[in-house]
Amino acid sequence: MGFMGTTRFIAKGARSKGRNAYWRKFAPAHKQWPQMKELLDRLIKEQRLELTLPRVKELQQYAEEIVFLAKKNTDYHDGLVDSMIVTPEARQILFERMVPRYQDRRFHFTRVVNQFRYRDRDTTPMGFIEYVDRPGELRPANPVGAARVQLVAQEFLATRRGRRMHLGEMQRILGRDGQPPLDAAVIERCQFECGKRNLAVEALRREATVE
């Protein structure tokens, strides 16, 4: 590793003397929840944080839960949300921006990214946590709702591989009540391709029965 790569380990034991692993990663029990509330408040306002990987994974469950509770839109769940955040600015961002953004997304509102690097002073693994479906995210999230239907239709009609991959999902989309959010010509082409696949399956079944 070389000298510069190993200097982070110099006096590692002296820095950690008298402090167990649990203390190094988290504060005492009576301080853990207030610290987590402050981190959650910062995450809602900034939409992305860089923290140690254990703390990122601990924060993720609360970041998912607070959006899930805010989407319930009842007085009881609003009280739970108010007990988890600190500032009115975070509450405004949560209810005015994030709840409409995740209206069609049932879960997986956050993304955790392992940086695969260590903090120099104590060799703690570092990571990112961010909310998805927003400008400036690290990579696009899987679409949901109408965007998912349009993506499936595009890939279904593009290649034979896409038709094999998305046949079942496209049949479910076409079988729902109401018209899917697609153009009439696209719906007609999708129905035609699904019909061809169904005819091919029936032909294979007849051949197997004859044999």
Query: What confidence score (pLDDT) does residue 52 get?
Result: 93
Pairing label, strands 125-131, 110-118: antiparallel
Q: Kindly state the average pLDDT of the residues 72-88.
A: 94
Query: What confidence score (pLDDT) does residue 121 get?
Result: 84
Query: What confidence score (pLDDT) does residue 179 get?
Result: 87
pLDDT at position 209 over 80: no
Query: What confidence score (pLDDT) does residue 129 get?
Result: 96
Q: Which CATH number fits domain 3-131: 3.90.1030.10, 3.30.160.110, 2.60.60.20, 3.40.50.300?
A: 3.90.1030.10
List the chain domain ranges.
Answer: 3-131, 146-210
DSSP secondary structure of the chain:
--HHHHGGGTTHHHHTTT--HHHHHS--HHHHHHHHHHHHHHHHHHSEEEEEHHHHHHHHHHHHHHHHHHTT-SHHHHHHHHTT---HHHHHHIIIIIHHHTSS--S--EEEEEEEEE-TTT--EEEEEEESSSTT-SSPPPP-THHHHHHHHHHHHH-HHHHHHHHHHHHHHHHSSS--SS-HHHHHHHHHHHHHHHHHHHHHHHHHHH-
pLDDT at position 25 over 60: no
Summarised one tens digit per residue, pLDDT across range 140-154 is 888 988 889 999 999
Number of other CB atoms surrounding residue 88 within 10 Å: 9
Quote the percentage of the chain above a pLDDT of 70: 80
pLDDT at position 90 over 60: yes
Query: What confidence score (pLDDT) does residue 20 get?
Result: 53
Question: How confident is residue 200, by pLDDT bands cut at 50, 70 and 90?
Answer: low
